Structure formats: C-alpha cells, structure tokens
Amino acid sequence: MQVVLGGTDYGELVKWRDILMQRMQENPGLSNVQSNYEERKPQVSVAVDRDRAADLGVSLQTVGRTLETVLGSRIVTTFIERDREYNVILQGRAEDRATPSDLDNLYVRSDRTGALVPLSNLVELTELAGATRLNRFDRLRAITVSAALEPGYPLGKALEFVEQTVEQELPPAARLNFDGESREFKRSGGQLYYMFLLALVVVFLVLAAQFESFLHPFVIMTTVPLAVIGALVGLWLYGMSINVFSQIAAIMLVGLAAKNGILIVEFANQLRDRGIEYREAVIEAAAIRLRPVLMTSFCTAFGALPLMLASGAGAEARQAIGVVVFYGVVISVFLTLVVVPAVYTLVARNTSSPQAVTQRLEKLRARFSGTAPATAEE
C-alpha cells in the first residue's frame, strides 16, 4: 500500500507523516511502515544576525557573497587568450572549508568603517539532518508512506483506514493521494465492475447476432456465473482477496467460459435442423462435443499454471490472475456439461429449430415451383 501526503511545506508534511505513520503502526493489519522522506543528509543551516550586521555596517550582500565564494564558487570576471574567452572562478580552498569551524578564519569588511569583522560574529550555525531527496506528486510537495499488508487484510480495508485517519486527525490542508497498486485500485476498482457488466452485454449482443435469437445466447451466458463461482473458490482456497488483477481475470472468464456453451448449443441447433428432437439433440451434442470442450478448457487451464505458480517480484499479481483463470475454467467446464443441457432443454421446449422457418419456405417454394416460380423474398 502506498499513500501520498501532499502540501505546500515539507515541515508540515513531516508532522502529518509522523501522525499517519503512528496510526498505521498501531493497525495490526499493516507492517513495515516506511516513508520516502528520509532525513539522513547532514546539513548546516547558516542564519545571519541581521541586527548585529546592521550595527557593524556589514550588508547582507557582503555576507552572502563571502559564503558563496568560500563554500561554493563564483564567477568574478573573464579573460581572453588566443581568441577564446575563459571564466575566472573564485573559490575557497578545500582545506579552508572542510569543517564549520573554518568560518572563524573568514572576515568581511564593514561598509561603514572599512574594518574587517569576523564572519563568525555575524552568523549562527545549526547542524541538522535533511532529506536525501525532495519528492513531488501532482505538482505538490509530497511524502509517500508505504506499508505491507498482513495476510488476510484486504487492500480496500487498509485504504479506507488511511482515509478515515487523514479525515479525522489531519487538517483540511492535507491532500491525500495514492500511488502504485493503491492508485490503480482506487481508480479502476469500481470501474471494473461496470466493465464486467459491459463485457456481458457485448458478448450477449454478439451471440444474439450470430444465433439470430435472444434465447440461445441466454443459455450460453449461464456458463459465466459458473466460471465466477470457480474463481471465487480458487481465491478462497489460496486465501486471496478480490483485487484489481483478479477482477481483470474475471473479465477474461466471460469469453473463456462462453466458448463451452457455444460448442454445445451450436451443435444442438444443427442436430435440430436435421429433424432430431430437442432433448435428444442436446444430449447428443453434449456427448459429441465433450472432447472439444475438455481439450480447449484444459489447454487454457494449463496455460494459466505458470501464472498461478509464479514466484519472485510481482508474483502476487500473476498468481491472482492464474488462480482465477485456472479454477474458473476447470470448475466451470464440469458444471457446464450439466447446466447448459438442462437450461437448453427448458428453453428449447417451446421453440422450433433455428432453421424451421427457412425449411418451411423451401417446402412452399418447391410446392409451387411447377406452376408459379417464386423468389426467395416471396
């Protein structure tokens, strides 16, 4: 889990981070709480005593240029040699700026009296630890807090805990955002349910156009709940939760499960067109199509085994997809061989064969072909 605290000042962000990390550490479902704002870089803060500098006649510009020259570098002029221009860089020697105490050897000139004033009398040094890197997120200063989820603690519940903590204990100025898998979960978690419903509708309409019926696609789509049941069983056996990757795999199951119903229903319709009664047709179709259904389903399931048995970095995402596909396909294939013929029998009981109207028209055409030729439209 990765949550991002955004604001305008790193000092406030550090305070908010400490409050959030303390609450996250108290949560037994979270472990290894860390942040990317690591105060490990030693720094020296130089504060100029403005009142004392003004009394001694030393300007802030003089103090700033002296510190810039000694601690950093400054281009003071240029010179030309052989038609080439070179910068003249003024910089203190390395041995004269190795420790903070070296500032005692520096002097600045008073603009009022012209006397040299020790620089150590005008500045105050404070040693502190600063961040090794200053991060931004969505163009705001930001600190990312990450944590590992304990087994059985879902990501959605963890994000809800963080949102409640930020709302209750942090000021309104604290901006909460998410990164990594947490960001994907918040952005696409709810949308995937709509995508699943949209996939069902699209598949149903395609099958309706192919079979020229709304009943036969309904029979085929009964395989989708069976596959979802198998996916849920697999997630339960492996102790996994419904996350972004398992939801994506569930959308894949819509097409993987529907193909088994297509094989049985399509062949049963062909047998009914030949004049076979609907009950015998569906029984014969299930028996004849048993081998293709098993071959295609087990090939798909075995193809998901490497994902389910994956290890190493990112294995959690691949395992979720592999478990959903493997168990969804394997369990649905056995249920399909029982449920689809049963539903087809109930639905087809009051319907005729798919080509019944075409066959009737052909008979009428053949009957009247000797007296008055008719076209197919007639």
- Whether residue 170 is found in the same domain as residue 283: no
- Whether residue 238 is found in the same domain as residue 342: yes
Instruction: Name the E strands within 49-122.
Output: 74-81, 84-90, 107-109, 116-118
- Whether residue 107 is found in the same domain as residue 149: no
- Whether residue 303 is found in the same domain as residue 221: yes
Task: Look at 142 and 245; give whichever has higher pLDDT.
Answer: 142
List all residues 6 or more positions away from 35 whose beta carbon is below 8 Å from its beta carbon. Answer: 17, 21, 143, 144, 145, 146
DSSP 46: E
- Residue 106: give its domain's CATH number: 3.30.2090.10
Q: Per-residue confidence at 84, pLDDT binned at 50, 70, 90?
A: very high
Q: Which pLDDT does position 145 carry in this prediction?
A: 92
Length of the chain, please? 378
Average pLDDT over residues 153-182: 88
Q: Which pLDDT does position 25 carry in this prediction?
A: 92
Closest alpha carbon to 38 in 183, 169, 177, 145: 145
- Whether residue 166 is found in the same domain as residue 244: no
Instruction: Please check whether residue 334 lies inside any domain of the structure.
Output: yes
Q: Which pLDDT does position 224 carry in this prediction?
A: 86
pLDDT greater than 60 at residue 377: no
Percentage of the chain modeled with pLDDT above 90: 11
Amino acid identity at 370: G
DSSP 102: G
Q: Model confidence over 211-268: pLDDT tens digits?
A: 777 888 888 888 888 888 888 888 888 888 777 788 888 888 888 888 888 888 888 8
Q: Model confidence over 284-337: pLDDT tens digits?
A: 888 888 888 888 888 888 888 888 887 777 777 788 888 888 998 888 888 888
- Whether residue 327 is found in the same domain as residue 203: yes
pLDDT greater than 80 at residue 130: no
Pair 336, 260: CB distance under 8 Å: yes
> Is the Cα torsion angle 360, 366, 368, 369 positive or negative in sign?
positive
For the chain, counts of helices (H) and of strands (E): 13, 11
Q: Per-residue confidence at 376, pLDDT binned at 50, 70, 90?
A: very low
Tally the domains of the chain.
3
Cα separation, 20 vs 12, whole angstroms: 12
Quote the domain boundaries for residue 118.
42-131
> Is the Cα torsion angle 215, 217, 220, 225 positive or negative in sign?
negative
- Residue 358: give its domain's CATH number: 1.20.1640.10
Q: Which of 142-156, 163-177, 289-303, 363-377 has the lowest mean pLDDT?
A: 363-377
Nearest-10 Cα torsion for 163, 168, 174, 176: 0
Instruction: Please check whether residue 377 lies inside any domain of the structure.
Output: no
- Whether residue 209 is found in the same domain as residue 65: no
Q: Which pLDDT does position 56 carry in this prediction?
A: 87
pLDDT greater than 90 at residue 86: yes
The tokens describing 319, both together, are 């395992």
CA dist 153 to 96, 150, 270, 317, 354, Å? 57, 6, 51, 16, 52
